[in-house]
Amino acid sequence: MIPQLQELSGNIPAFKPDAIDYTGNNEKRQHAEQIIEEVCLRRATIVRESLDPAIQGVFDQFTQLENFRGCKTRYDRKHERLELSDGKSVINYNNVGSQSNYMFLHLSFFLGLHKYLKENPCTQVGTFLFIDQPSIPYYEASDDDKSTDKAKLLDAFSVINKFMQDVTTDDDGFQIILIEHAPTSYWTGEHALDYFVTKREFEGDQALVPYYVIEKKKAEKND
């Protein structure tokens, strides 16, 4: 047993660990708590006074909201979600109806958030926004659609265009990347939007997986 203890003893580092700096640790802890307190205060006051109006400003631009015109948007910070109220009650709506209305809320939040960040720059957030298929609630958008679906989608595109017009007053490089199944007639011709540019159409041999990629993989497999 003694030789084993001697071997273990020989593996003990020669240096001794520094004494715990209780005073320094307490100072760091207090500093961290102060930062957290300041962040919570900012979220509850400054952000509420600036972010909520920015979101509301976008929401108020939509003209095709079903039964929710004039409502007030409220960002629930505890659950991190955007909610609606009638503006008269502290109670928010549990359900805002169609998927289309949720799409409008989705755009209101993210466009409003970037409008807020434009005025309150944050280096951790990129100067771009990726929007994937606002037409999803309408399944298949077409010029022959006799419902209100087309009007709602045109409304959404118009507000996105107005947002770009407002935030690109200087050369900060902000852009929106929009992936959409709707035909280009929704932002060209009689519905032309200044800030919409069709960069690529993925259809036919240039669909989601371009034909040349398939041919290349086939050739590699045969080799």
Q: Which two tokens stand for residue 118?
A: 């434009």
Q: What is the end-to-end Cα distance of the chain in Å, rounded?
A: 66
| pLDDT averaged over 10-residue windows placed end to end, the chain, 223 residues | 62 67 80 83 74 93 86 84 82 80 91 89 84 78 61 93 84 83 91 92 73 82 76
Contacts of 65 (CB under 8 A, 6+ apart): 71, 101, 104
Q: Which two tokens stand for residue 148?
A: 């209100």
> Is the separation of the CB atoms in 82 and 108 below 8 Å?
yes
Q: Which two tokens stand for residue 116?
A: 């807020």
Say what the pLDDT of residue 59 is. Answer: 94
Say what the pLDDT of residue 17 is. Answer: 63
Q: Are strands 81-85 and 175-179 parallel, antiparallel or unpaired?
A: unpaired
pTM of the full predicted structure?
Answer: 0.71
Say what the pLDDT of residue 124 is. Answer: 81
Domains and CATH numbers, the chain: 20-222 (3.40.50.300)
Q: Please report the sign of the dihedral spanned by the C-alpha atoms of residue 60, residue 63, residue 67, residue 69.
A: positive
Taking the C-alpha atoms of residue 106 and residue 20, their distance in angstroms, rounded to an integer, is 50
Say what the pLDDT of residue 29 is. Answer: 86
Strand partners, 134: none
Say what the pLDDT of residue 15 is. Answer: 66
Say what the pLDDT of residue 221 is. Answer: 81
Q: Please report the sign of the dihedral spanned by the C-alpha atoms of residue 44, residue 47, residue 51, residue 53.
A: positive
Say what the pLDDT of residue 8 is. Answer: 67
* Dihedral, 207, 208, 213, 218 alpha carbons, nearest 10: -90
* Residue 130 phi, psi (nearest 5): -105, 120
